[in-house]
A and B are shown apart, each in its own frame.
Chain A
Amino acid sequence: MTETVYVQLLDLTCGALLLTAVLILWRRDLSVIVRVFALQGAALTALVAVLAAHERSGELWVIAAGVLALRAGLLPYLLRRTLAAAGEPQREARPLVNVAASLLAAAVLTFLAHAVSRPLVTLAPSPAAQAIPIAVTVVLIGFFVLVTRRHAVSQVVGFLLMDNGITALGLLTTTGVGLVVEVGVSLDVLLAVLVLQILAVRIRETFGDTDLDDLRELRD
């Protein structure tokens, strides 16, 4: 793989990562959000694969396979099942911050991410390091989704978005965090999602809805 092709592929996969994050913010339909999240898993896989091909590292190829299986396969499947169990199609009807404002907030977050990751980029100006701001943006957008969405499933997606961003960040900064760490993190995430899924099902069985704002009533 020549250098220019590598850079272009890297930019494109990072662009796809960012675009899917934005789309998750943009759409209200939960099934669409889950589908876009699966797409993001695929984009992350492509990113890892590009890095693996460039570094010629077997370890990275294994990580790529793991990412594909977990983030484009298993996690979206689990989320879809949670949605399917709920029956009728669900929507993020009234997010705490309306969609237009969320998108503008995402613009601000992008600039923030660029501003804070500037020192990291200048530290080691490689093509992979150039894409660090995008990974930071994905983390921030994930956090934003976690904060502003009401529905349990979209909150889980926000959490996973953050995790995708952190994985991409790790890969881009060190070009590989080590297989053991990656496997450990992935298992953690899987566990978290399973627990959240069970919680979501329980909440729904008790309250008939998975709007997390209703949980506030439990406090008293």
Chain B
Amino acid sequence: MTALGLAGAVVQPVLIVAGAPVLVGVMRQVRARLEGRAGPGIRQPWRDLRKLFGKERIAPRGTSEVFRVAPLVLVATTLVITVVAPFVTVASVLNPVADLFVVVALLAVGAVALALAGLDTGTAFGGMGASREVTILALVEPTLLVAILALSARVGSTNLGDVVSSMVREPSRVISPVSLLAAVALVIATVAENGRIPVDNPSTHLELTMVHEAMVLEYAGPDLALVELASAMRLSVFLGLLANLFVPWGIATTATPAALLAGVLALVLKVGVLGAALAAAEVFLAKLRLFRVPELLAGSFLLSLLAVAASYFLA
């Protein structure tokens, strides 16, 4: 447990919890401007959260503890990732948990908790959302793990800190075919896991197309606030990991205040740019039919396999 790791464990969660809703605000604002609307401003998600936290807590009839605990688990898994994974600092306070497989599995735990909550309500919407969410989750898993294989096979470790610091040491790896193919595959996986267009539309409330929104339909007040906060955090976590896995520059490798500040600024910049690019791309894309999503995911799986082939055969 190094000073750098400790600094990261304090700075990263604070930064991501505070910044995630702002990121969502930025993305909505970019989208609004590109569509020719004024937009509500980037602080709107925080205002929404404040309002939701001030409301009364609701217990929908027939729901159990699973429904009540799920938002907590969702936030907690994401929070653990923000503490241990390399976002601002390379070192981790808990190295044995900062593993790529563990991070992927923790994100899945959050999704599963929400899916169970959706089923727990016993409504048609809840079941529908849960069913679709876990289907997409199952199909994304091969892409994620094979892309991880491509990235970690050359480093010889699946530890996130090791992967990122090897990228920092050898910048020539950044524009290799392996990185590019794996990056495209992981971007598609990120889009699918976070329910963004073209896999799911976060702003839809049309029954036929809802995935994430259908699962959380019964949540209200503070519980809904937690779910919203967690989805924003998951998006930031995914984008932050993408940024640091492929463009690790600026991440703090020493525990000096200047390095930490540079790390924070670099993360904010990278995630902001990625988020804005994602939002801009969403303006030009239409949501896919649910049964076209496997095609997209098969494509991203192919790309990740090609990345593995390239990592072995072009080495």
> What residues make up the interface of A, taking CB atoms closer than 8 Å to B?
4, 8, 11-12, 14-15, 18-19, 22, 26, 98-101, 103-104, 106-107, 110-111, 114, 121, 130-131, 133
Contacts and interface: CB of A to CB of B under 8 A. Distances in A.
Given A15-B180, A15-B181, A111 B175 contact: no
A202 to B, nearest CB: 33
Interface string B169-201: 000100111001100000000000000000000
Interface string B299-315: 10111011001100110
A121 B313 CA distance: 10
Contacts of A18: 306
Given A14-B177, A22-B299, A107-B302, 5 more contacts: A8-B172, A8-B175, A15-B177, A100-B297, A103-B302
B42 to A, nearest CB: 35
B294 interface: yes
B295 interface: yes
Contacts of B294: 100
18 contacts: A4-B172, A8-B172, A8-B176, A11-B176, A11-B310, A15-B177, A15-B181, A22-B306, A26-B295, A98-B295, A99-B298, A101-B298, A104-B298, A106-B302, A107-B301, A111-B309, A131-B314, A133-B313
Nearest to A111: B309
A27 B303 CA distance: 15
Nearest to A7: B314
A83 to B, nearest CB: 22
B295 A22 contact: no
A12 B175 CA distance: 8
Contact of B295 (A100, A114, A131): A100
A27 to B, nearest CB: 10
Given A4-B172, A11-B314, A110 B306 contact: yes
A100 B310 CA distance: 21
Contact of A22 (B172, B302, B314): B302
B313 A114 contact: yes
Interface string B145-184: 0000000000000000000000000001001110011000
Given A18-B306, A110-B309, A103 B298 contact: yes
A98 B310 CA distance: 26
B70 to A, nearest CB: 31
B301 A11 contact: no
A130 B301 contact: no
Contacts of A130: 313-314
Nearest to A98: B295
B257 to A, nearest CB: 36
Contacts of B305: 107, 110
Contact of A100 (B172, B180, B298, B314): B298
B295 A103 contact: yes
A104 B309 CA distance: 14
Contacts of B172: 4, 8
Interface-central residue, B175, B181, B305, B313, by most chain A CB under 10 Å: B313
A114 B305 CA distance: 13
Contacts of B177: 11-12, 14-15
Contacts of A22: 299, 302-303, 306
A169 to B, nearest CB: 15
Nearest to B293: A100
B310 A15 contact: yes
A-B residue pairs, 5 tightest by C-beta:
A15-B177, A100-B298, A103-B298, A99-B295, A103-B302
Contacts of B176: 8, 11
A60 B297 CA distance: 39
Contacts of A111: 309
Nearest to B306: A110
A26 B299 contact: yes
Nearest to B312: A114
A12 B181 CA distance: 11
Given A8-B175, A11-B176, A18-B306, A103 B301 contact: yes
Contacts of B180: 12, 15
